[in-house]
Structure 1
Amino acid sequence: MGKELHADLVIIGGGTGGTAAALAAAKMGRTVIMTEETSWIGGQLTSQAVPPDEHPWIEKFGCTSSYRRFRDGVRQYYRDCFPLTAEARANVYLNPGNGWVSRLCHEPRTALAVLQQMLAPYIHSGRLTVLTRHRAEAVRTNGDDVLSVTVRSLDGQERLELAAPYFLDATECGDVLPLAGAEYVTGAESQRQTGEPHALEGAPQPMDMQAFTYCFAVDYLEGEDHTIARPEQYSFWRNYKADFWPGRLLSWTGVKPATLEPIEYDLFPGKDWMSLFGYRRIADKRNFAPGTYRSDITLVNWPQNDYWLGSVIDVSEEERARHFKCAKQLSLSLLYWMQTEAPRPDGKQGYPGLRLRSDAVGTADGLAMYPYIRESRRIQAEFTVLEQHVSTECRGTEEAEAFVDSVGIGCYRIDLHPSTGLRSYIDISSLPFQIPLGSLIPVRVNNLLPACKNIGVTHITNGCYRLHPVEWNIGEAAGYLVGYCLQHRVQPREVRNRQEHLASFQRLLVREGIELAWPETHPV
């Protein structure tokens, strides 16, 4: 056995939700141990290199106060550390990258610096311990309770048994759930199970999950040659075409997610201002003093590097590693194709000036530390959010289902990327929604809670509950829930099912800046 450490709360997974949970629990005076598989905390915001996907009202309302503090911190970081132009510095709503996917596109390293600053008081005081490059390998239980989680460092040199009254699974794939024997579901449910109009018509497919993506950063230096070595699997990916896709994956042809109509992309602004390069641009050199950046920088998280040829959940370690390798090869092949063969408006082929920015993502191979996992294992919860609760088509009203046990809010289209079942996008309108506490409560296990996209949602509703502000809110609510339970000596399901505790807990959330309901808004 390895060394044993104790805390009030152990969080396995230091992603967006895990970090928010650690902040909340530490703020309530609780000791916390948080582990993270990569070298960077922050998940989607950092190690997965995905600029925030947010709703159109984010600057005014619709997120927690701590998430807003993070966003404000990102802008302040650029004001404090960078030579901005006078116009950029005066812009209250500064968007460092001016990417059109979000009102705040920024570099992963910036998000990391801001998150570390937010955690610093609790780390320095000893209340919070962060263990990076550690992965869960075993869970010890007693009946319906988790007693400890054993983690091992990725270099194999350290093995720790982490014990606590409460545990949060904030891993990207819900990795603690099977280790703990907790009830969970994966993949696509059937209409017979959920009644959802967009669920599968036949039998459920537990291994049919959304594509995942290895993101990477590039800039562009016209006249220079930064062509990478030809990837090992380039021949395969250069010729690959899915039956449901209108052309080869490595091409400028894609589909409009909502209609599945074919569309032609532009790499740089041309006839369509919404170019791929501008989509998730994280540094717009026009915001900075001349010479600060040689080029704009963008993050490549595009349809062309979505990997859907296999799941990395509930498969052998060998198969998981194979799919991770193939997904990396796809992303590198996309870059190589763009550098060498991609058609250009001027009639030439290839953009050799595209330069892989490994420094921007903190890795040797230039790809993000961890893939962007869109779909996790999901707990079997006391309450599961269905399409009927949130979709505009199902509701036929201006409001999503109101949940009396709301612990937060979110808004995003029901956006499912192509899946391992070789099915194309599902992209439908949703209404601004609430996060019900019941979706955070497992049907049986008492002291293990989800803290990210592994809550009680379906394959369909995962599509709108998986984005950055929602995951942050889920994690933050879970952190406060643990603090409340320890303070009042009750279990999480008692908080939901006893009115006096539910009301008291919701008052706590409101005091801490968590919005529980939406003002009047419109479908997205």
Structure 2
Amino acid sequence: MKTKRLLVILGLTLYWGATLSAQKTITTDVLIVGGGTGGTAAGIQCARLGVKTLIVESTTWLGGMISGAGVSATDGNHKLPSGFWAEFRNKLYAVYGGPKAVETGWVSNTQFEPHVADSIFKQMAAAEKQLTILYNHHFQSLVRRGQKIISVTVLDKATQKPVIILPKLVIDATELGDVMAAAKVPYSLGMEAGSLTGEKVGVSQTNNVVQDLTYVAVLKDYGRNADCTIVKPSNYDPKEFDAACTDYYIDKTRKAPGVDGKKMLEYGKLPNNKYMLNWPLYGNDIYLNIVELDEASRNKELEKAKEQTKRFIYFIQNELGYKNLGLADDEFPTEDRLALMPYHREGRRVEGLVRFNMRHISEPYTYGDPLYRTGIAVGDYPIDHHHKKNLAAPQHLEFYPVPSFNVPLGALIPQQVENLIIAEKGISVSNVVNGTTRLQPCVLLIGQAAGALAGLSIKQSLIPKKVPVRLVQKYLLDAKAFIMPYIDVKPDAPYFEAVQKIGATGILKGHGIPYKWANQTWFYPDSLVNGQSLAADLQSFKKYNYKIPTGNLRIQEAIDIVHQLDIALAGSVKGSKIKSLSKQKSTLTQLVETSWQSWGLDHYTPGRFITRKELAVLLNNTIDPFERLQIGYNGYAK
């Protein structure tokens, strides 16, 4: 019996080896499936860590929704210039001539031509020697053994031959979460009942309803006398678009539109007289739930989305009179000149180490686990769900007010499969929260964090969930990324890193408020430190019998408190930066006195009141509680 089992194993091994030798195989440290918004950021960031990285992308473009899907009007984070998002935006400014040059439409502060985004991403990728990209390669399948993915098969569209990839670690950056599904990782799809998430706006019963998708088009102004009218689409009926704008409003049972045709088009106006068509109100959104379909069935359904957009274009040209606006001939390299791919607002969402829901955003310091301490990406857009083409959807959350927020690292790591990380829109969030984490700047930053986690995992020889949270955050801070969403402390401030780190400990907490289209969280760096407030925050960080005066604190009193905290932290993971600091208070006082100005702070006077930014710098440069007290993915001290 034992001999027979050995022969079977030997036979399988020989078969597997023969299969690999007969097909093209590639080995890599990190494989990123999907060169979309998150996947591109992940690949570039991972390669910057010196890790061998491979992106496989099914189209010929990089950037996904921000380029190939044509959604080139970014939503949110205008005042949160974080990491990879800021880097990309600065390159846009360089191309077009500054911030004002991309404020062309009214839906966004940053609008640009999709092909420019693709070009920028490709230039950034080309600068990374450790990064390889396979275009026109489509994900097909994978092999999972136990808790590891050992191989991934993709199809080379040019040769129609499979390519087998042997990675150490995989990032699922597909639009719909296809890798996690193939790996049989638990995930959610659609809306969860509020009783499951604890959200006050959750639906009463779980369902599989997802948001509408859009096949975006970019129109170009070919001149006043041009007639660019497309062939009349089959089944065209202008009534379908009644109430899209005031220029065509016949059915008064529909809600009255708030804009005329010109204003509707200027919603997505791009540089160089182009217009992005991504209009939800009786426009080219469409409800198609294609997530669980196979590729052929998806493509068949997506033809309906393309026809929807063509009918809307014909409506604009024929009913509204904009015959001079035609499909741009210098954007997408497709036969029909529509986007290379649809704009998916939602797909599968992994069951991660943590589940990020709306109450974590609205009540970050009081609800559930302190996930805010583990932040790796920030966002400020309201919760925005598109269900206008599915009136049966049980909820319509349009611009639901929440403060700005940070995304916890544990949302990127599945509960199962130890060498898989999630990027794009498939992270572990509730359906409600997906309405804000799905937007372009936030997804870029999630991708950057996924790439950092993957690279550090390889370099440290650790599976992702064993990589210290603080190590990932520190690397992101070095890349000028925000881990806390403070609107009033920018990366060029000399105290930026200190404020971010101390904010992530909870010793000094920010204040979040919903605000129009750009929600906010304030640190108030120049405000004075209140003793009572600090005492409460310190207890939530590390319980100890602190002796803290009431009222506003003076610099010398703050030094006394730092000394107490150092004693409280004695025996933590990392020792104090100052030898025997907890035993020699005079050592601390002397260090502060001699280093105050070199830390970038104003005049040192022990008797004057201390500001919040000064206390953050003082804590960071003396006892460093950010690294002293290591935390787990739930935000609690280890």
For 1:280, which of 242, 260, 268 is the aligned residue? Answer: 268
Give the 3 Å change call, closer, same or farther, for CA 420–188 of structure 1 in structure 2: farther
Contact 2:365 2:372 in 1 (8 A): no
Contact 2:246 2:257 in 1 (8 A): no
Residues 55-95 of structure 1: per-residue CA shift (max 9 Å, x gap): 3643xxx243332121111121234xxxxxxxxxxxx4233
Give the 3 Å change call, closer, same or farther, for CA 401–100 of structure 1 in structure 2: farther
The SS at the match of 1:164 is strand
1:69 match: 87
Aligned length: 459
Q: Does 1:510 align with 2:512?
A: no
**Which residue identity is paired with 1:133?**
N
140-149 vs 224-233, which moves further? 224-233
1:302 match: 279
Q: After TM superposition, give the deviation of residue 47 of structure 1 in Å.
A: 0.2
For 2:315, which of 337, 352, 375 is the aligned residue? Answer: 337
After superposition, residues 212-227 of structure 1 pair within 5 angstroms as: 212-220=213-221, 221-227=223-229
Contact 2:277 2:284 in 1 (8 A): no
Give the 3 Å change call, closer, same or farther, for CA 414–261 of structure 1 in structure 2: farther
TM-score by length of 1: 0.82
Q: After TM superposition, give the deviation of residue 321 of structure 1 in Å.
A: 2.2
Q: Does 1:385 align with 2:356?
A: yes
1:6 match: 27
1:160 match: 163
CA distance in 2, matches of 1:335, 1:68: 33
After superposition, residues 344-363 of structure 1 pair within 5 angstroms as: 350-363=321-334
CA distance in 2, matches of 1:509, 1:96: 27
Larger radius of gyration: 2
Q: Which has the higher contact order (CA 8 A, sep 6+)?
A: 1
CA distance in 2, matches of 1:401, 1:429: 21
Q: Does 1:145 align with 2:148?
A: yes
Residues 24-48 of structure 1: per-residue CA shift (max 9 Å, x gap): 1100001111011111011122101
1:82 match: none
The SS at the match of 1:146 is strand
Contact 1:211 1:306 in 2 (8 A): no
Q: Does 1:426 align with 2:397?
A: yes
**Which residue identity is paired with 1:266?**
D
Q: Over aligned residues, Cα RMSD in angstroms?
A: 2.4
After superposition, residues 46-445 of structure 1 pair within 5 angstroms as: 46-55=67-76, 57-58=78-79, 62-79=80-97, 92-96=98-102, 98-122=104-128, 125=129, 127-201=130-204, 203-206=205-208, 208-220=209-221, 221-235=223-237, 238-240=238-240, 262-268=256-262, 275-284=263-272, 296-303=273-280, 304-342=282-320, 350-391=321-362, 403-418=372-387, 420=390, 422-423=392-393, 425-427=396-398, 428-445=400-417
Q: After TM superposition, give the deviation of residue 402 of structure 1 in Å.
A: 5.3
Give the 3 Å change call, closer, same or farther, for CA 229–251 of structure 1 in structure 2: farther
CA distance in 1, matches of 2:113, 2:463: 40
Q: Percent identical across equivalent pairs?
A: 29
CA distance in 2, matches of 1:66, 1:146: 28
Contact 1:240 1:249 in 2 (8 A): no
Q: After TM superposition, give the deviation of residue 318 of structure 1 in Å.
A: 4.5
CA distance in 2, matches of 1:377, 1:403: 24
2:605 match: none
CA distance in 2, matches of 1:280, 1:452: 23
CA distance in 1, matches of 2:53, 2:140: 19
Q: After TM superposition, give the deviation of residue 333 of structure 1 in Å.
A: 0.2
**Which residue identity is paired with 1:179?**
A
Q: After TM superposition, give the deviation of residue 514 of structure 1 in Å.
A: 1.7
Structure 1: tracts of 5 or more residues without a match: 80-91, 242-246, 255-259, 269-274, 285-295, 343-349, 496-500
**Which residue identity is paired with 1:209?**
V
Residues 325-368 of structure 1: per-residue CA shift (max 9 Å, x gap): 000000000011111123xxxxxxx3222211142223221211
CA distance in 1, matches of 2:231, 2:284: 21
Residues 456-510 of structure 1: per-residue CA shift (max 9 Å, x gap): 0111100000111110111111111111111222221123xxxxx2223322221
Contact 2:72 2:112 in 1 (8 A): yes
Residues 251-307 of structure 1: per-residue CA shift (max 9 Å, x gap): 8679xxxxx964233121xxxxxx1221111115xxxxxxxxxxx211111113444
Q: Does 1:17 align with 2:38?
A: yes
Contact 2:246 2:260 in 1 (8 A): no
Q: After TM superposition, give the deviation of residue 395 of structure 1 in Å.
A: 7.6
Structure 2: tracts of 5 or more residues without a match: 1-18, 487-509, 520-638
Residues 375-423 of structure 1: per-residue CA shift (max 9 Å, x gap): 02110111111121224xx7899xx975221112111100000165733
Give the 3 Å change call, closer, same or farther, for CA 152–226 of structure 1 in structure 2: same
CA distance in 2, matches of 1:396, 1:267: 45
